[in-house]
Structure 1
Amino acid sequence: MGEHVETLVIGAGPAGLSAAHALACAGRAVTVIEAEAIGGAARTVRFDSFSLDISGRRLSSADPAIRAFWTALLSDDVVEAPGAMRLAGEGAARGRPGAAIGALLSARLRPIANSKTLGEWLTRRFGRRVARRLGDYAHKLWALRPDETPAQPACPSFQSEAAWRPRLGTGQLWDACARAIHAAGGETRLGLTATSLRRDRASGVWTVTAERQDGVVEILTADQVISTMPLRELMGALSPTPISLFHACELMYRDQVTVAFAAAPGRRRAPALAEIHDPAIKAARARALEEGALALDYYCFEGDALWTADDASLVAQAVAEAQRLGLVAPGSIRDAQVVRQRKVHPIHDEACDEHLKMIGLDLRLHFSGLHLAGRAGTHGDSAEDQSIRTGLTAAAAVLARVTAPVRVAA
């Protein structure tokens, strides 16, 4: 038998670290395993000419507990993040929310709460004209048309709240969180990928098999497990095989390819964050980085033509689109970098709620002591604070000795 811990957390992204931090600060023994790096998709990568926040997400939440969480870790080391702009094409930028007066009146007369699809919600919130442009962006994000997308999980992506970012990038928050976990007696182990999970019915102990980067297999046991693995992958790793595995296999995710490079400015100033509406531009977002650098985010499916394209082709495409948008000057590109990140956005189609309902029932009946956290781990909504919220919820369940999994997002 390998190493035993009271609570094992799979994944050192925002959800896993939030959960581990809450448990460690409560005096509980906790170990976090992570395949890649602290912060997961929220990490900050530093290159020669600039640094890059992989997710590009800001700190935004109306929940006092979540705001207190990051404030305690960073104190005053956060700065205000400008609101997102909208690039309609060829560099034309519009402020957010950018709705016409008629659309605002329509939103008052036709309540948003009645909207069943994202398309209806966007129309009632912003008006038909703006909704069409936002629909093009939504299609890039989820590969679904707005009338195919349920409203509730998607709506947070189009709402604007006051936002902040750590002065040195989002990775600064999660590096500070990992240090706080260690100071409180917890442990974080990198380079370990969980490959299988089994619960002993008699003892209630979980056995987790994890593979190191050098191929060596390690066995860890735990009283309870918090998983932030993409829900589809988790269900495939559970033993015995869950009866809801068919439903889990139907869950879909969008992956992200980011192309970043330093360049001289173009005819228009690059915004801090911009959604690109023009369907002729394949990039979904543009982000200004420090030192005149720019990042373009593309959403795709792992294994498709965009994901498997070589770096040189991706750089050429991103540079051409940035020039078309007027954000960079021709012939000035240097230090180009390509970063691929898996499973950044769960996709919610019309059948998703039924799949999640069946998965949740299966987990509650047969996999006691397993808790879900994270946007991909719960197949949750698009709110900026979703990952932290689910991590704190999972930790609270462990502290309260709740053995059934927390509710799967549905």
Structure 2
Amino acid sequence: MHVETLIIGAGPAGLTTAYELTKAGRSVAMVERDTFYVGGISRTVNYKGYRFDIGGHRFFSKSAEVEAWWTEIMGDEMLQRPRSSRIYYNSKLFDYPLRAGDALSKLGPVEALRCVLSYGWAQLRPYKNVVSFEQWVVNNFGRRLFQIFFKTYTEKVWGMDCNDISADWAAQRIKGLNLYQAIIQSFGLGKPKAHDDVIKTLINSFRYPRLGPGQMWERTRDKIVAQGGKVMMGSTVTTISQHHGTGQWVAIVTDAHGKETKVTADHVVSTAAINELVKMLGADNDAAVAAASKGLRYRDFLIIGLITRGKESFDDNWIYIHDPSVKVGRIQNFKSWSPDMVPDPDTACYGMEYFCNAGDDTWDMADADLIARAKFEIGKLGLANPDDIVDASVVRQPKAYPVYDDTYKINVDTITEGLAEQFKNMHLAGRNGMHKYNNQDHAMMTGILTAKNIIAGTEAHDVWTVNEDAEYHEGGQAGADKIEERLVPRRIA
């Protein structure tokens, strides 16, 4: 088989690239290791008709092009959904973002006063040289609020102590959650913010495919095939090389049954994890590239879907669990994403999210033990009765979040420079393909720009500049033609 472009990985970036290319009449072959699902971490798993969104995906973008793309694919199957999230702390659910009245009534006057005094102490004795997440939050909100609303969840997600995380992430990520304004002003203290300064961190509504994000990516796959593209499911690229004389790529693609197909291509687009690509290409024969590849780290993730009898106990899209006595980090309510995610209206379906590292105790735990833990923890939190849980399923997602530690950028630069020296017409796109913790629309934009470059035969569009403006993703207006990055915590050097 010969195609103009071979695409490795059928996640948002790969599928977007393939769709744009086939729409322009270009020939494409896409290789996806999963036998059943496309969409990567944006896939929707179907378990007995119950649909699990892996991680939760709100469809909201400042890119008008991406917003139009979603409409083109989904049409009226794209729903408008209300945004609702809360924080679980001390057996209570707090509105997110916090409202002064709600927070005060649930914290109680004694705890609220402790927060005020803690903030006052932080103003009198601030950290002078702020380098860590913990120091930044304590300076801005006081230690008590840091311990209540920031420490536990952050450490669950990233597997790092808050004092090891760089302050720059806090400065971007938390700038809109001004707990000082919410609580301190309730005592008549502090200066109110001007109307124009009120943070717009959180959108009030978002779009969402009726059957989950996987519905959109499955439609995209089908449109790619209808436009002449080839999608090879349950397959992996076992070897790949480039003829240095002609520049033609030669790949051996092996399916689940061991059948091999030789694919030649003029261009290769890789959305696979960048360290996997290095091994695939044999580029680890370069000592510097090999060392850089080994230095890239990831945070993994699993979700346990719990199906219960009766009406759901909360109507949030998800709840952040700020309780150190349980391992679960966040709980989704799939019916709140879309009622059609749950086939029986007399049942509810929750997603218990656990952040972990492949090979640790949580990741390696047997499914039955994970389900038992999830049942126990949701019962302990009082968010569902374990006796009402009638079924459950476990979904693991390796390499969910690229980790930005103190050496990641040097490692990525070393790898990309090494690949550029050895190969031509090699394009990297997407979250893992570029080792950039981007949102779904960011990943899509890298795919759109990659397709434009291939069609034009130039490198006019630099995919690495997508996301460089670091503002919180869900601020502002949809379709505002500016696509921005959500930063990722970096470990302090």
Change in Cα spacing, 1:322 to 1:395, as seen in structure 2 (3 Å) is same
My pick for the range that moved more, 5-14 or 231-240, is 231-240
Q: How does 1:25-36 map to 2 (within 5 A)?
A: 25-36=23-34
Q: Which residue pairs with 1:287 in the alignment?
A: 332
Q: Which residue pairs with 2:339 in the alignment?
A: none
Q: How does 1:267-282 map to 2 (within 5 A)?
A: 268-269=313-314, 271-282=316-327
Q: Which runs of 5+ in 2 are unaligned?
A: 104-115, 117-129, 175-200, 335-341, 469-493
Post-superposition offset of 1:175: 1.2
Q: Which residue pairs with 2:277 in the alignment?
A: 234
Post-superposition offset of 1:56: 1.9
Q: How does 1:157-172 map to 2 (within 5 A)?
A: 160-161=202-203, 162-172=205-215
Q: How does 1:113-128 map to 2 (within 5 A)?
A: none
The percentage of counterpart residues that share the same residue type is 32
Contact kept, 8 Å, 1:149 with 1:350, in 2: the verdict is no
Equivalent-residue separation in structure 1 for 2:152 and 2:243 (angstroms)? 48
- Based on CA coordinates, which of the two structures has the bigger radius of gyration? 2
Secondary structure at the counterpart of residue 450 of structure 2 = helix
Change in Cα spacing, 1:119 to 1:163, as seen in structure 2 (3 Å) is farther
Equivalent-residue separation in structure 1 for 2:271 and 2:169 (angstroms)? 18
Contact kept, 8 Å, 2:273 with 2:432, in 1: the verdict is yes
Secondary structure at the counterpart of residue 283 of structure 1 = coil
Contact kept, 8 Å, 2:312 with 2:348, in 1: the verdict is no
Q: How does 1:281-360 map to 2 (within 5 A)?
A: 281-289=326-334, 290=342, 291-360=347-416
Secondary structure at the counterpart of residue 225 of structure 1 = strand
Equivalent-residue separation in structure 2 for 1:395 and 1:382 (angstroms)? 18
Secondary structure at the counterpart of residue 386 of structure 2 = coil
Change in Cα spacing, 1:217 to 1:120, as seen in structure 2 (3 Å) is farther
Deviations 1:344-374, CA, capped at 9 Å, x for gaps: 1111112212212222222222222111111
1:362 is aligned, of 410, 414, 418, to 418
Q: Which residue pairs with 1:136 in the alignment?
A: 152
Equivalent-residue separation in structure 2 for 1:32 and 1:402 (angstroms)? 22
Equivalent-residue separation in structure 2 for 1:55 and 1:331 (angstroms)? 26
Q: Which runs of 5+ in 1 are unaligned?
A: 103-114
My pick for the range that moved more, 232-241 or 152-161, is 152-161
Contact kept, 8 Å, 1:191 with 1:212, in 2: the verdict is yes
Q: Which residue pairs with 1:54 in the alignment?
A: 54
My pick for the range that moved more, 133-142 or 397-406, is 397-406
Contact kept, 8 Å, 2:301 with 2:354, in 1: the verdict is yes
My pick for the range that moved more, 358-367 or 252-261, is 358-367
Change in Cα spacing, 1:321 to 1:99, as seen in structure 2 (3 Å) is same
For this pair of structures, how many residues does the alignment match?
399
Contact kept, 8 Å, 1:264 with 1:329, in 2: the verdict is no
Equivalent-residue separation in structure 2 for 1:403 and 1:267 (angstroms)? 51
Q: Which residue pairs with 1:14 in the alignment?
A: 12
Q: Which residue pairs with 1:111 in the alignment?
A: none
1:250 is aligned, of 287, 295, 320, to 295
Change in Cα spacing, 1:377 to 1:369, as seen in structure 2 (3 Å) is same
Q: Give the aligned residue type for 2:18.
A: A
Q: Which residue pairs with 1:44 in the alignment?
A: 44
Contact kept, 8 Å, 1:368 with 1:403, in 2: the verdict is no
My pick for the range that moved more, 325-334 or 385-394, is 385-394
Change in Cα spacing, 1:81 to 1:365, as seen in structure 2 (3 Å) is farther
Contact kept, 8 Å, 1:60 with 1:163, in 2: the verdict is yes
2:455 is aligned, of 395, 399, 408, to 399
Q: How does 1:77-226 map to 2 (within 5 A)?
A: 77-83=77-83, 85-89=85-89, 91-98=91-98, 130-132=145-147, 133-150=149-166, 160-161=202-203, 162-226=205-269
Secondary structure at the counterpart of residue 226 of structure 1 = strand
Post-superposition offset of 1:264: 3.8
Change in Cα spacing, 1:302 to 1:370, as seen in structure 2 (3 Å) is same
Contact kept, 8 Å, 1:48 with 1:335, in 2: the verdict is no
Change in Cα spacing, 1:130 to 1:348, as seen in structure 2 (3 Å) is farther
Contact kept, 8 Å, 1:264 with 1:332, in 2: the verdict is yes
Equivalent-residue separation in structure 1 for 2:18 and 2:141 (angstroms)? 40
Secondary structure at the counterpart of residue 385 of structure 2 = coil
Contact kept, 8 Å, 1:99 with 1:130, in 2: the verdict is no
Deviations 1:275-333, CA, capped at 9 Å, x for gaps: 22222221111011233111101111112211111111000100111111211113111
Post-superposition offset of 1:156: 7.9
Change in Cα spacing, 1:41 to 1:328, as seen in structure 2 (3 Å) is same
Post-superposition offset of 1:5: 0.9
Equivalent-residue separation in structure 2 for 1:388 and 1:156 (angstroms)? 23
Q: Which residue pairs with 1:109 in the alignment?
A: none
Equivalent-residue separation in structure 1 for 2:10 and 2:400 (angstroms)? 14
Equivalent-residue separation in structure 2 for 1:223 and 1:155 (angstroms)? 44
The root-mean-square deviation of aligned C-alpha atoms, in Å, is: 3.1
Secondary structure at the counterpart of residue 359 of structure 1 = helix
Change in Cα spacing, 1:306 to 1:370, as seen in structure 2 (3 Å) is same
1:259 is aligned, of 297, 304, 328, to 304
Post-superposition offset of 1:261: 1.6
TM-score when normalising by structure 2:
0.73
Post-superposition offset of 1:125: 8.0
Q: Which residue pairs with 1:76 in the alignment?
A: 76
Q: Give the aligned residue type for 2:88.
A: A
Change in Cα spacing, 1:280 to 1:84, as seen in structure 2 (3 Å) is farther
Change in Cα spacing, 1:252 to 1:202, as seen in structure 2 (3 Å) is same
Secondary structure at the counterpart of residue 317 of structure 1 = helix
